Amino acid sequence: MQDPKYTVRLMKEEDVPQVTEIDREVFPTEWMFRLSSSYYKEFKNPLAYYLVASTQSDAFTKSKMLSLTQLPLFKDFFNNAHDDYREEQNSQNPYIVGFAGLWMMAHNAHIMSLAVRDRYRNQGIGEALLIAVTELVSNLDANMITLEVRSSNDVAQALYKKHGFREVGYRSRYYSDNGEDAVIMNTDSLSTASFQLSFRILKEEHIRKYNNISLEIS
């Protein structure tokens, strides 16, 4: 069976309902601070850039959210969300499997979020989004990329370290849901020859391994 094809591209306004749903799935204790209205507002923010990984395959299954809909507080909300989502899918919009968001601030790029639907992890999609972010901000003449990541998220930290991020500090009790610390990570200057060489090698390796994922951000 042929691998599904994925495209990483700039987010469109019609992608917002699915991006919001991924936010709820991947960040279940944080999504209430990033409602759909927040993502729509980002289209008017000249400092904000969002990327999505999409496919034409309609892989949505309602069972992915069953565990969350068992919570009385969220039951009606998620039922309504599924109705909205089915309407989106019936319009034949591409299926969004992951997204990344960043802000440009004083020649530095700050990654606000990077998320992939649970069932699409370990397929190179998260790394493709990170590669696309790096390529995008390099074209925007960013000097470096910064982010915060949960101290317990070893998988994400390993990916960031692979791509040249290093720990530069901590934010104590940064996450309000459980008081978890955040690890602050930065790249070195994106313009250095060493960073550009490493990035090019990592991108070429990713393309060879995951030739079903294309980047269309230029």
Contact 85, 101 (CB under 8 A): no
Residue tagged active-site, from 14, 30, 148, 167: 148
Known catalytic membership, residue 87: no
Known catalytic membership, residue 160: yes
Residue tagged active-site, from 49, 50, 120, 160: 160
Could you tell me the CA-to-CA distances from 68 to 24, 71, 190 in Å, in that order?
10, 6, 40
Strand order in the sheet with 95-105: 166-171, 182-186, 144-150, 108-116, 95-105, 48-55, 6-10, 213-216
In this structure, how many other beta carbons lie within 10 angstroms of the beta carbon of residue 162? 12
Tokens representing residue 94 in the block = 């591409």
Question: Annotated active-site positions, please?
Answer: 148, 160
